[in-house]
Structure formats: C-alpha cells, structure tokens
Structure 1
Amino acid sequence: MENIPTWMPVVAAALQDAQGRWLMHRRPLHKHHGGLWEFPGGKVEIAESPAEALARELEEELGIVADPAAFEPAGFAQGAGESGAPPIVILLYILREWRDDPHALEGEEIGWFTPPEVLVLEKPPLDVALARNLFAQDAR
C-alpha cells in the first residue's frame, strides 16, 4: 500500500542576524492571511527533504543562498487545514549564516525585529505558536 500523507508539510526559517534580531516576512496582501507577518518558507515538494525545500523557498522569497546543512531544527506548529484542505504542519529551522542580502521578492516587505517585537507583530496563528516556542526556548 502506498503511503499517502494526510497532512501538508511546510517549512519556515527563523533567520537571526549578528545583533540577535529575527527576520520576518509580510505576506502578500492578495493571499490568505495577507498583510500578516510570518517566518519565511513554504511547502515541501515531492522528493524534497525539508532542508532542501527551505533552501529553495528562501532563494525564491528572499534571494538568499542557504546551505541545507546549516538549518538547526527549532520546533514545529500544526493546525487544521482551511476549507477541507489537509492539516498543516510547519517545521521551523533557525538559520544564522547565508549568502546575499535578503529582499522581499514575493511578499510585501521584510523586517528585522527583536524577540519582544516579533511577539507583538500581527501573525497567522501558526506563526504565533512558532514565535512563542522559539523565544521560550531561546530564553533557556
């Protein structure tokens, strides 16, 4: 029997700069959760590992080059899919080194924020959970 997933794997990156700030990406206005801030990333395609998918997504969304081996697992969040879609599981990875400067190639804008600033940004529900867990972990 073929293994057919009943959930949608999504990957996201928490990019941290040398000053300890975190990059957030504002979703395009015409998309679901448009205008809200999120960790950049996207869907894992067939035959991609999560790290390969995240490296591809970061190049498409931000124009940066990341080594898949540099991603540090940081946690996950899960939620029900919208309108009959399968549930979503977002795998979050920390990235501290990459090539090129990030730019908003697919979203409205990007910004660098301290943890308290990230926590008060308007975000989709799963990104709220990811940020809360990331910074609780970071404080340990």
Structure 2
Amino acid sequence: MSEPLLTADAHLRRDDAARGDAPRKVVDVAVGVLIGADGRFLLTSRPEGKVYAGYWEFPGGKLEAGESVEAALARELSEELGIAVDPAHVQRWREQMVDYPHALVRLHFCRLYQWQGELQAREGQSWVWAALPVTVSPVLPGALPVLRWLGEEHVPPSA
C-alpha cells in the first residue's frame, strides 16, 4: 500500500517540473518496524554526522544496486544494530514517499517479529523500545506515518 507524498519540511516545495529542474532521483530505503513480544516497537536515534542527527526513526537504510528490500533490511540491521534477520521473515507492510530537502525518498516499511542477537549501537546511536504515545523527540518526519498506522491498528503493549 502506498501513501501520498509527505513533505518533510514546513514549507511546501514547488514541483520540480514547475521550477524547470530535472526530476530528482528517488532513493529507495528499507525500514524495519521491529515489534517485540510485548507489542513495543524499536526506535533508534540518527547518529552524529548524518542528516537529521539526533532525530528518532525506525532503523534501516538505502538499497544498494540490485538489492531487494528484504536483503537491504537484513544487511542494514546487521551493520547498524548487530542483529541477524532472515530475509524470508521480513514482511513488507507499506510504502511512503517523503520529500526531504536533501533527498526524495521512497520508504519501504517492513514489519519484523523475529531476529537473532542482542542490540548493539554500532554507529553510536541510541535506541528505545517504545509504545504509543511516543515519548522521545524529535521524531523524523518519515517515521510519523508509521506511528499513525500503528495507532490505527491498535497495537498497545501487553500488560
């Protein structure tokens, strides 16, 4: 299921064609919505040196040439968090286009209920197992739709 374009900044950006610019290349990103047995979900902070450093997001990263969403997510979760994911257990969930000032991004959100290993902050990031309403901030604009979707699906943590 695809959602409409989400504009990541407060000012609506003019269409590339209206400006006479060449269309921007879409960057595909695999994003993991890791959901624990208690219903809480994993959020990670963006490390120093990256765009939006300190913002909270769902973990993941860019697809490499010829890489599937599932393989990219497994690779990124291993690189960033030291956990192993079987690409066969990756459940594609939704897609969202986000127009950030620095990039036009197609986010491929995948739900994960199974992984192996202990979380490690391999990029110096922080993480939190969260429930709705989320108490960490700021939250990356591309993560906001996921929080809404989780709320619509009524995924509260178990007591």
Q: State TM-score, norm by structure 2.
A: 0.75
Does the 8 A contact of 1:55 with 1:68 survive in 2?
Answer: yes
Give 1 or 2: higher helix fraction: 1
Q: Does 1:105 align with 2:126?
A: no
Question: d(CA) in 2 for partners of 1:18 and 1:10?
Answer: 25
Q: 1:68 aligns with which of 78, 83, 87?
A: 87
Q: Which structure 2 residues correspond to residues 124-135 of structure 1 after superposition, within 5 A?
A: 124-135=140-151
Does the 8 A contact of 1:42 with 1:57 survive in 2?
Answer: yes
Q: 2:96 aligns with which of 77, 84, 94?
A: 77
Q: Does 1:91 align with 2:108?
A: yes
Does the 8 A contact of 1:58 with 1:64 survive in 2?
Answer: yes
Question: d(CA) in 2 for partners of 1:80 and 1:31?
Answer: 17
* 1:94-119 residue CA offsets vs partner (Å, 9 max, x unmatched): 1011110112211421111113226x
Equivalent residues, number: 132
Q: Which amino acid in the other structure matches residue 31 of structure 1?
A: K
Task: Note the C-alpha offset of 1:138.
Answer: 4.4
Task: Note the C-alpha offset of 1:81.
Answer: 4.3
Q: Which amino acid in the other structure matches residue 127 of structure 1?
A: A
Q: Which amino acid in the other structure matches residue 16 of structure 1?
A: I
* 1:52-107 residue CA offsets vs partner (Å, 9 max, x unmatched): 00000000000000001111122122122434x4x211011010111101122114
Task: Note the C-alpha offset of 1:130.
Answer: 2.4
Counterpart of 1:122 in 2: which secondary structure?
Answer: coil
**Identity rate of aligned residues, in percent?**
35
Q: Which structure 2 residues correspond to residues 33-48 of structure 1 after superposition, within 5 A?
A: 33-48=52-67
Counterpart of 1:115 in 2: which secondary structure?
Answer: coil
Counterpart of 2:142 in 1: which secondary structure?
Answer: helix
Does the 8 A contact of 1:77 with 1:130 survive in 2?
Answer: no
Question: d(CA) in 2 for partners of 1:35 and 1:63?
Answer: 20
Question: d(CA) in 2 for partners of 1:126 and 1:89?
Answer: 10
Task: Note the C-alpha offset of 1:133.
Answer: 2.1
Structure 1 stretches of at least 4 aligned residues deviating more than 3 Å after TM superposition = none
